[in-house]
Amino acid sequence: MAAVSMTVNGKAVTGDVEPRTLLVQFLRENLRLTGTHVGCDTSQCGACIIHIDGIAAKACTTLALQCEGAKITTIEGLAEAGGKLHPMQEAFREHHGLQCGYCTPGMIMSALDIVRRNGNNLDEHTIRDQLDGNICRCTGYHNIVKAIEAGAKAMAK
Amino acid sequence: MYNFTFHRPTTVRQAAGLLARNPDGKLLAGGHSLLPVMKQRLAQPSALVDLSLVEGMTGVELKGRSVVIGAMTRHADVANSQVLKDVMPGLAAVPGSIGDPQVRNRGTIGGSIANNDPNADYPAACLGLGATIITNKRRIAADDFFTGMFSTALEEGEIIVKISFPVAKKCAYEKFKHPASGFALVGVFVSKRGPDIRVAVTGAGSNGVFRVKSFEEALKKRFSPKSIEGMSIPATGMNADIHASPEYRAHLVAVLARRALAKANA
């Protein structure tokens, strides 16, 4: 076992993990932050996307120990303390950007990274292209794309 | 995944020492090839030596007439490097075609080259530009580096520190992307630097990345798609799998080479 410490959603956390513990396991099983999902466990579906030091990554393909000292943001870290949703979350609700909801946390974390890289005015082509690493098994992409376009705009306000 | 010990050195020297003490250990760069393979239990290193804290292994720099890229530079950072986009957009376009955005945020050039996946993109760029792979021990020409599928000239304990690409006036990469994996079903990198003309192919050969000497010869007269019009390469030695037959891959090599030439001249 090895000690690991990092900042998750602004809080300092520590844990004792096996070196083979994936970041997603650490988040879900040690910290009980179960908003980050495991869809495929093979780096393809994006349900596990979180931010490491502000940059989107797949938590199923990252070891917890690789994140020693890092700042992690998960879906739980987006809403304000009083429960007010992040503009991107709000846009997903408003535009019904989900069906079963399983891929949604990853979609939203990915959406924020698309905004980071491409700004707040996103066209449909950019969004679809940049969602390459997220799979919605319900195939509900149409509203997801609309939600991301609206959410990106709302974030600029 | 089988368990292992985990190490985070801060210098190349320490990393080399850790590898020497752990003969069944492996270097961990971005981890986006190694960790999936370990999950499938196709690899079971006794130790992982994480290079992410090692100083001086990241960045893209123009040095004289070469672009030098640190081995731990992530795909996204190479793709977005203004220096590289200015001097050699054909090379900057290569990492932008790898995997998906999250993979590009973590995967590294050194990891890709050391792994030498027969469908990876960077090996074609290295061979197609005549790059030099600089390790903690020596400098290795790309022509000598890639020795076969998943195999390289790297010795035990040898660590890629950076890769030096000579700046080619004209170069481009064309790739037939597998729609699910994002890997190259076939990818062709072409370049012209003075009299030195290179055509390197990934994804097609059953022995990994290779050069097409017949095309290179034909392009000496004129570096243009017209020069290789009607030419083809034999299907022998091409990969065969559920995605494509050897004949189809051989056909794609010629098509993509012509497209890459057109792009390089554009």
Q: What is the pLDDT of residues B114-164, one digit of tens each?
A: 999 999 999 999 999 999 999 999 999 999 999 999 999 999 999 999 999
Sort residue B7 into left (φ over 0), alpha (ψ -120 to 50) or beta.
beta
For domain A2-76, which architecture applies? Roll (3.10)
Q: What is the mean pLDDT of residues B247-264?
A: 98
Residues on chain A touching B101 (C-beta within 8 angstroms): 56, 110, 113-114, 117, 130, 132-133
> B5-50 — its CATH code?
3.30.43.10
Smallest Cα distance from A70 to chain B, Å: 12
- Cβ atoms of A63 and B31 within 8 Å: the answer is yes
Structure tokens at A152: 């990106």
Strand A2-8 relative to strand A49-52, pairing: unpaired
Q: How many angstroms separate the Cα of B42 from the Cα of each of B35, B38, B158, B172, B251?
A: 10, 6, 22, 34, 32
CB pair distance less than 8 Å for B3 and A19: yes
Smallest Cα distance from B88 to chain A, Å: 22
Residues on chain A touching B39 (C-beta within 8 angstroms): 41-42
pLDDT tens figures, B178-223: 988 889 999 999 999 999 999 999 999 999 999 999 999 999 999 9
Q: How many angstroms separate the Cα of B261 from the Cα of each of A22, A55, B157, B184, B201?
A: 43, 35, 39, 18, 13
User: What contacts B147, CB < 8 A, 6 or more positions away?
Assistant: B153, B208
In chain A, where the domains are located:
2-76, 87-155
Chain B residues in contact with chain A using a Cβ-Cβ cutoff of 8 Å: 1-6, 8, 28, 31-32, 35-36, 38-39, 48, 50, 52, 76, 99-103, 105-106, 180, 182
Smallest Cα distance from B106 to chain A, Å: 7
pLDDT tens figures, A89-135: 999 999 999 999 999 999 999 999 999 999 999 999 999 999 999 99
C-alpha dihedral sign at A55, A59, A65, A70: positive
A122: helix, strand or coil = coil
Q: What is the mean pLDDT of residues A2-15?
A: 98
Residue A52, pLDDT score: 98
What percentage of chain A reaches a pLDDT higher than 90?
A: 97
pTM (two decimals): 0.96
CB pair distance less than 8 Å for A56 and B100: no
Model confidence at B113: pLDDT above 90:
yes
Distance CA A71, CA A10 (A): 8
Smallest Cα distance from A33 to chain B, Å: 21
Residue B181, pLDDT score: 83
CB pair distance less than 8 Å for A20 and B103: no
Q: What is the mean pLDDT of residues A8-23?
A: 98
Distance CA A105, CA A110 (A): 8
Task: Closest CB to A58: pick one of B8, B76, B102.
Answer: B102
Structure tokens at B79: 């793709």
- Cβ atoms of A126 and A118 within 8 Å: the answer is yes
Structure tokens at B238: 């091409």
CB pair distance less than 8 Å for A19 and B102: no
For domain B60-265, which architecture applies? 2-Layer Sandwich (3.30)
Residues on chain A touching B28 (C-beta within 8 angstroms): 66
DSSP B119-184: T-SHHHHHHHHT-EEEESS-EEEHHHHEEETTEESPPTT--EEEEEEEPPSEEEEEEEE-TTT--E
Q: What is the mean pLDDT of residues A62-75?
A: 98
Residue A116, pLDDT score: 97
User: What contacts A68, CB < 8 A, 6 or more positions away?
Assistant: A4, A5, A6, B8
Residue B83, pLDDT score: 97
Residue A138, pLDDT score: 94
Residues on chain B touching A49 (C-beta within 8 angstroms): 102
Task: Closest CB to B52: pick one of A41, A55, A66.
Answer: A66
Residue B18, pLDDT score: 97
Residue B139, pLDDT score: 98
Residue B205, pLDDT score: 94
Model confidence at A38: pLDDT above 90:
yes
pLDDT tens figures, B219-255: 999 999 999 999 999 999 999 999 999 999 999 999 9
CB pair distance less than 8 Å for A43 and B103: yes
Sort residue A96 into left (φ over 0), alpha (ψ -120 to 50) or beta.
left
In chain B, where the domains are located:
5-50, 60-265
pLDDT tens figures, B95-107: 999 999 999 999 9
CATH number for A87-155 (one of 3.40.50.1000, 1.10.150.120, 3.40.50.720, 3.30.70.520): it is 1.10.150.120
Residue B46, pLDDT score: 97
Residues on chain B touching A65 (C-beta within 8 angstroms): 6, 8, 50
Residue B179, pLDDT score: 84
pLDDT tens figures, B52-90: 999 999 999 999 999 999 999 999 999 999 999 999 999
pLDDT tens figures, B14-67: 999 999 999 999 999 999 999 999 999 999 999 999 999 999 999 999 999 999
What is the complex's ipTM, to 2 decimals?
A: 0.96
CB pair distance less than 8 Å for B1 and A20: yes
